[in-house]
Amino acid sequence: MDIQDLHLKESLLLCRRAEMKCAQRFRELAGRIPSLHEGLRQVILKLAMEEDEHLSVLDAFNARTNWPAAWHLTETTIDRVLREQLPALWQGIADGPVGSETALRYIESVESESSRFYRTLAECAPDAAAQEFFRTMSNREGMHFDRLIETLP
């Protein structure tokens, strides 16, 4: 099953899983930032919270859709599709403490892939409302890294 074959509710499920994984990875990353870079650590934790907030946005859109559920996704398929679309979320980060340059490169990769993932879903969306929703989510992901750079101490 390819991403363009997904039912809207399945796409939203994938988005939910991706946002949860992203928030988890950002928290793990923040925990590995040395105390010397406390400002960066705090910014990464804020980014993780923003990913958590996306869950509420996804749930609200899901509740408004009139599309019936059509579950064809197994856990294996969910994992495969997300790994294909968002490989950075499964990429290892160096062992031990993580420097600011490595952290920023990783975050940039995740946010770029997330934005592209939502754009792909927008292209495959079944109606105008879903297309607009996924485009908005793509833009949000695209702005995360820019805002991160602006807020760094």
111 to each of 5, 51, 118, 139, how far by Cα in Å?
Answer: 24, 10, 11, 10
Task: Say what the pLDDT of residue 41 is.
Answer: 93
Q: Is the pTM of this model over 0.85?
A: yes
152 to each of 34, 68, 96, 149, how far by Cα in Å?
Answer: 15, 43, 22, 5
| Residue 105 token pair | 């490169």
The 10s digit of each residue's pLDDT in 44-103 is 999 999 999 999 999 999 988 877 666 678 889 899 999 999 999 998 886 788 988 899
Q: How far apart are the first and last CA of the chain?
A: 44
The 10s digit of each residue's pLDDT in 9-57 is 899 999 999 999 999 999 999 999 998 899 999 999 999 999 999 999 9
CATH numbers and ranges of domains, the chain: 3-151 (1.20.1260.10)
Which 3-state string (H, E, C) describes 11-48?
Answer: HHHHHHHHHHHHHHHHHHHHHCCCHHHHHHHHHHHHHH
pLDDT range class, residue 149, cuts 50, 70, 90? confident
Task: Say what the pLDDT of residue 71 is.
Answer: 65
Q: What is the CA radius of gyration of the chain?
A: 16
Triad 43, 147, 87: Cα angle to 5°: 80
Task: Say what the pLDDT of residue 1 is.
Answer: 64
Task: Say what the pLDDT of residue 135 is.
Answer: 97
Task: Say what the pLDDT of residue 70 is.
Answer: 62
The 10s digit of each residue's pLDDT in 51-62 is 999 999 999 999
